[in-house]
Copies of this chain bind each other. A is one copy, B any other.
Amino acid sequence: MSESNWSVPETEVVQRVRDRLDADGTDVLATIVGVEGSAYRRPGAKMLLDDEGGVGSITAGCIEDDLLAAAEAVRESGRPDRVSYDLMGDDADDVWGLGVGCNGVIDILLEPLDKTYRPAVEAFDAGRDVAVLTVLSADGGSPDGPEQLGDRAYYYPDEGHLRLPDGSPADEWPDEALAEPAADLAERGSGDVVTVEGLDGATLTVFIDGITAPADLVVFGTGHDVGPVVELAERTDFRVTAVGFRGAVDLAARFPEAHRTVTTSPGELDDALDIDDRTHAVVMTHNFVDDRLVVETLLRSDAPYVGLMGPRDRFDEMLEAFDDEGTTFDEADLESLYTPVGLDLGGGSPYQIAHSIVGEALAVSNDRTPGHLRQRDGHIHDRVDVDASPSP
């Protein structure tokens, strides 16, 4: 597994899955369904094993090579399989990881990538949270139930009930028992195994893979300082939209990392963009009037983050201009406004500024108070398992 392979943003893994689904290839999707002890990634981490090797990663190189062999078997049989690796202790670390941090037990679901997974990709692309429910085992019950390893259903929090991959109602799934954990995991974007009783009395063990849609980052501006913001935001898994006014420049060419580009006018944002509670905006048109119109629209929206470039007194001028036109914002409205934009990291180069802006958007999107982790109380839930080396 190459370094670049390990480093791909999550969004690129999903894009690759989509491409392979379209290509109708015979690929294998590997998903961590259980982790004991410490391993690099958490349940739900995925790796697509296609004819070019693997995209994405499950551990920092501990078992990927071995996984390729297991995947080959699944590709040939066309049937899903579960593999478990016990990487406990120093020996395992030596055997598997050359000290790159491999211990713990990892339980992995291997399945042929087929159209039953397409709804997950479509939800991700649509910016819609979803939970993918996959049967790991079923004991007892009738043969009509969802009893086979790999059988699948979907749960959309915005719908509230299970559906089969083809969109039809999942009548044979225990909707009531699964809806609540599915809703929770979809919102948190994590995965877990639940055991419930099937409608036919079977004991169902189901892996629920909560996939939270990526946060949107919308950048307003076409100046040469926008590029680094787009690039770093894409790296950190924001779905980036670059917005320009008056069609002055070829946005797609200028911002190749952007998920999409939109050319519109400050007065038509509501029509041109879907601004909602997962929209993180960075306003840097460097044009006072444009910025003011954009900020006015954003402060009236549900956008949780409105980063405005420029010194504080410039925004004070903006507030006066709002007053003059009879527009007023109360403190609650201004909660989402971050100006001067960015974290206080120092440094004035374009990339340093972009780093501070993207870091701030990331913190807000994850509801964190940016500061040193060493000063944070409690567990660092999604970081505590980063280190994986055994104690001596």
Contact = CB atoms under 8 A, between A and B. Distances in A.
Interface of A: 1, 3-7, 9-10, 40-42, 57, 60-61, 97-101, 222-228, 231-232, 235-237, 248, 254-255, 285-291, 309-312, 314, 317, 321, 337-353, 355-356, 358-360, 362-363, 365-374, 376, 380, 382-384, 386-392
Contacts of A98: 248
23 contacts: A3-B255, A4-B227, A5-B224, A6-B225, A7-B227, A9-B351, A40-B225, A97-B286, A100-B286, A236-B347, A236-B352, A237-B349, A286-B387, A337-B374, A338-B373, A339-B373, A340-B374, A340-B384, A345-B366, A346-B362, A348-B382, A352-B362, A355-B362
A289 B2 CA distance: 25
Contacts of A227: 3-4, 6-7
A289 B255 CA distance: 44
Contact of A370 (B61, B99, B370): B370
Contacts of A351: 7, 9, 235-237
Interface centre among A41, A285, A314, A344 (most CB of B within 10 A): A344
Contacts of A1: 224
A226 to B, nearest CB: 8
Contacts of A339: 373-374
A6 B290 CA distance: 22
B3 A389 contact: no
B359 A101 contact: no
Interface centre among A41, A61, A226, A386 (most CB of B within 10 A): A386
B374 A371 contact: no
A9 B225 contact: no
Nearest to A57: B224
A309 B248 contact: no
A159 to B, nearest CB: 27
A97 to B, nearest CB: 8
Contact of A311 (B5, B291, B310, B380): B380
- Which 7 pairs across A and B sit closest by C-beta, in order of nearness? A346-B366, A310-B387, A101-B286, A6-B224, A99-B287, A348-B382, A3-B227
Interface centre among A101, A342, A372 (most CB of B within 10 A): A372
B388 A372 contact: no
A101 B310 CA distance: 11
B344 A363 contact: yes
Contacts of A226: 3
Given A346-B367, A351-B235, A362-B346, A383 B223 contact: no
A317 to B, nearest CB: 5
Nearest to A357: B373
A101 B223 contact: yes
B340 A383 contact: yes
A334 to B, nearest CB: 10
A205 B290 CA distance: 41
B9 A387 contact: no
Contact of A310 (B290, B337, B372, B386): B386
A343 B355 contact: no
Given A60-B223, A353-B386, A346 B363 contact: yes
Contacts of A4: 227
A240 to B, nearest CB: 13
